[in-house]
Structure 1
């Protein structure tokens, strides 16, 4: 799922119509525990159609919860992941925040004082069960507001058939990537290495490369450090050693979206790219045998990876703190966490569910991704400025690898915008 999109004002009537909700909901009780309570839950749809819509999952969770908690009803609204962040933003602006939202970003709401903290809602056992790297990404000034819901990591995917035909071994270093891509190009492979730096998810592809080059978006104290020497060196290498040598295919990276790169890989047209579990199923369904290795670094494979998470949060507006906490504790049971992860080939966010998945041979294809999760580095979700910075990366980073470009200048412009955005937090 993508990140939070820019929020805009919208009238209450339009919000209610868009979400298919009634304006009058049972909402008494709150912290007092008196009377019936209806919790409003808005969640993202991870499905590809009616057969696997997330509405089925959440309706099942709600029904199970209601059975165990008489007096609490859960009203479920599931929206397309491209729309849900905007829709929730509009509800909040209109003064009709849901009680619980499962979306892509939490920082703005937390900073505005609209969210309960994890300590205010969750049982200690639930809060302590989150994987530390994910739990930390849900904190602002050491206080957790964002509850990780699902996660994924990235590995380097390669087409085993194409590699075998060229007599290649799986790459472990950047030099291996370059030499393998050169050999694949000589064999007529359309995209020796697909490098999607188009606007769809350029911020993620960028972070993978920055981490593999020893850099990242922030420094050791959490300040933006986008134009660091390590990051500049990474993009110089990409420009000179991959793009400049014609090893990234017919579409320039700045115009290649992740979805198109993934489609090309599943069609057997790509030698290598950075992939996630969903692509694995898509490719194998079309007969592409996929090799997977940790992201190659300058001198060897990375020990960690880039991680991505979406978030659950409880809004204060309706005063249903206890009821929200009860639902979240139920939703984060191993059974529920694993059911969702299994349905969409994602990774569980709790230690106990991750241990179950790790020991289950039926999840073998996810084990390498799961192994990378504890040491993964996530984007700076806790910064309210991240939405602005991410948007700048999406719009501009492709220029850093264009022929004749100056990576230092491009990264410097993004860094300046990032520092200004951070100063305004």
Structure 2
């Protein structure tokens, strides 16, 4: 029973026996104010929890992704953080000793249910502070009708970079505006960059956690991208200024032949009756060895001292039923083993299985590094330089690497 899980949550000396109101700030995954807005989910969850735990009230504020991280940062700076925040990053707060750890909050069975790769991604200084809340992975999407018109087999998507290039050439020959959609604008730059790095066996960090942004593999990947797609005019105009949503919208208008996408694009394409296929991300010699994973996080601030009550609510939120209810309504992936097993057996979620299969081995941003926020921002501002007429990946990646090393040294992470 869920209530039993709550009772087993860890207690400590700063817990209050009196009635408690927990402030929760969360991100909106739906249409604000619409039928699928996240406010309705959280209100229902809070109501159900309070019925089982009459001494605890949950005060929920749901904000758009454009505002939620900045709002929580303002609250923290003002000395009035929420008890619980469901946002995009946690490392800087953990580094300032503002957060409870997972072990402070959750009983062992709840902690053990997190997928190991995601639990590890939530660590700062080898302690888990970020609780994964929802996840996604990436696949290559392609427009089957455009493939057919270009004389390409719609059931045989490209498996390697060379096959992707050849398909892009065929699409261009039939007048497709964006044979390959390349969003290197600020919104998506870190993700698109990472996917191309993974395609050549590279990435942002090595197995020891050190930045390797200017590694030989990464430079080679961007040299190939520049020479084979960008300079060949197979990506459409101004990729350095193109954001992810622009490419998604163009895909649903039939203007993009191929692009890297996450599960949300399925909903958007279905609304516009776009016939699409998905496949593993292409790599240099075949399918990439791994894909990129993205996780959003939930965390608990220590300021108000409600550890026991926060732990009870989070254990309730991560119960199989409640967690699955959230991720399934937004085409997201569960972050727990129990939720993943349920999704594999859910016939209504067949379209997500390709994404789900990749989650255990996906590579994530190095979000546990305190320096990552600064490095990510630098990538957003600088990576577009590789697509300039005289773009030099070695120079650009080398500059970003040096800045990353400086940020790493300053942060002490």
The normalised TM-score by structure 2 is 0.94
Q: Distance in 1 between matches of 2:363 and 2:98?
A: 27
Picking from 186, 197, 207, the partner of 2:194 is: 207
Indicate the residue corresponding to 2:74 in structure 1: 90
Separation in 2 of the partners of 1:399 and 1:125? Answer: 47
Q: Given the alignment, which residue of 202, 205, 215 partners 1:218?
A: 205
Unaligned runs of 5+ in 2: 1-11
Distance in 1, matches of 2:345 and 2:255, equals 34
1:31 is matched with which residue? 14
In structure 1, the partner of 2:132 is 148
**Equivalents in 2 of 1:229, 1:302: separation in Å?**
17
Aligned to 1:379: 365
Matched, 1:43 2:29: no
Q: Given the two structures, how large is their TM-score scaled by the length of structure 1?
A: 0.92
Match of residue 43, structure 2, among 59, 64, 70: 59
- Whether the 8 Å contact between 1:239 and 1:403 is mirrored in structure 2 is no
Q: Counterpart of 2:3? A: none
Separation (CA, whole Å) in 2 of partners of 1:99 and 1:286: 40
Equivalent position of 2:302 in the other structure:
316
The answer to whether the Cα contact below 8 Å between 1:224 and 1:419 also exists between their aligned partners in 2 is yes
Please state whether the residue corresponding to 2:14 is helix, strand or coil: helix
Structure 2 distance, partners of 1:256, 1:208, is 16
Inter-partner Cα distance in structure 2 for 1:166 and 1:201: 28
Partner of 1:399: 385
Q: Does the alignment pair 1:191 with 2:178?
A: yes
| Structure 1 counterpart of 2:65, from 71, 81, 92 | 81
Q: Is the 8 A contact 2:15 2:305 kept in 1?
A: no
Runs of 4+ in 1 over 3 A off after TM superposition: 29-33
In 2, Cα distance between equivalents of 1:167 and 1:351:
42
Shift of 1:303: 4.1
1:68 aligns with 2:69: no
Does 1:108 find its partner at 2:92?
Answer: yes
CA distance in 1, matches of 2:131, 2:15: 24
Q: Which among 318, 325, 345 is matched to residue 339 of structure 1? A: 325
Deviations 1:289-326 (A, max 9, x none): 11000001111112431000110001100000000100
2-side partners of 1:178 and 1:63: how far apart?
Answer: 53
Q: Per-residue CA shift, 1:156-182, capped at 9, x if unaligned?
A: 000011112223231000000000000
Measured in 2, the distance between the counterparts of 1:44 and 1:281 equals 19
Q: Which residue number in structure 1 is paired with residue 7 of structure 2?
A: none
Which position in structure 1 is the counterpart of 2:254? Answer: 268
Kindly indicate whether the alpha-carbon contact (under 8 Å) linking 1:131 and 1:374 is maintained by their aligned counterparts in 2: yes
Q: How many residues align?
A: 396
Q: CA deviation at 1:93?
A: 1.0
Q: Which residue of 117, 137, 140 corresponds with 2:121?
A: 137
Aligned-partner Cα distance in 2 for 1:354–1:118: 20
Q: Which runs of 5+ in 1 are unaligned?
A: 1-28
Three-state SS of the structure 1 residue aligned to 2:332 is coil
Q: Is the 8 A contact 1:243 1:402 kept in 2?
A: no
The answer on whether the counterparts of 1:303 and 1:372 sit within 8 Å (CA) in structure 2 is no
How big is the shift at 1:337?
1.1
Residues 1:361 and 2:344 aligned together: no
**Contact persistence 1:235–1:401 (CA under 8 A):** no
Q: Which residue of 1 aligns with 2:232?
A: 245
Q: Per the alignment, in what secondary structure is the counterpart of residue 163 of structure 1?
A: helix
Q: How far 1:30 sits from its partner (Å)?
A: 7.5
In structure 2, C-alpha distance between the alignment counterparts of 1:303 and 1:348, rounded to whole Å: 22
| Residues 1:352 and 2:338 aligned together | yes
The correspondence for 1:418, drawn from 380, 395, 404, is 404
Deviation of 1:402 (Å): 2.1
In structure 2, do the counterparts of structure 1 residues 32 and 247 end up closer, same or farther at CA, with 3 Å as the change threshold?
closer
TM-superposed CA distance for 1:201, in Å, is 1.5
Q: Indicate the residue corresponding to 1:235 in structure 2.
A: 222
Q: Distance in 2 between matches of 1:297 and 1:30?
A: 53
Rounded to whole Å, the distance in 1 between the matches of 2:206 and 2:404 is 13
> Which residue in 2 is equivalent to 1:180?
167
Question: Retained in 1: the 8 A contact 2:150–2:173?
Answer: no
Shift of 1:342: 1.5
Equivalent residue, structure 2, for 1:7: none
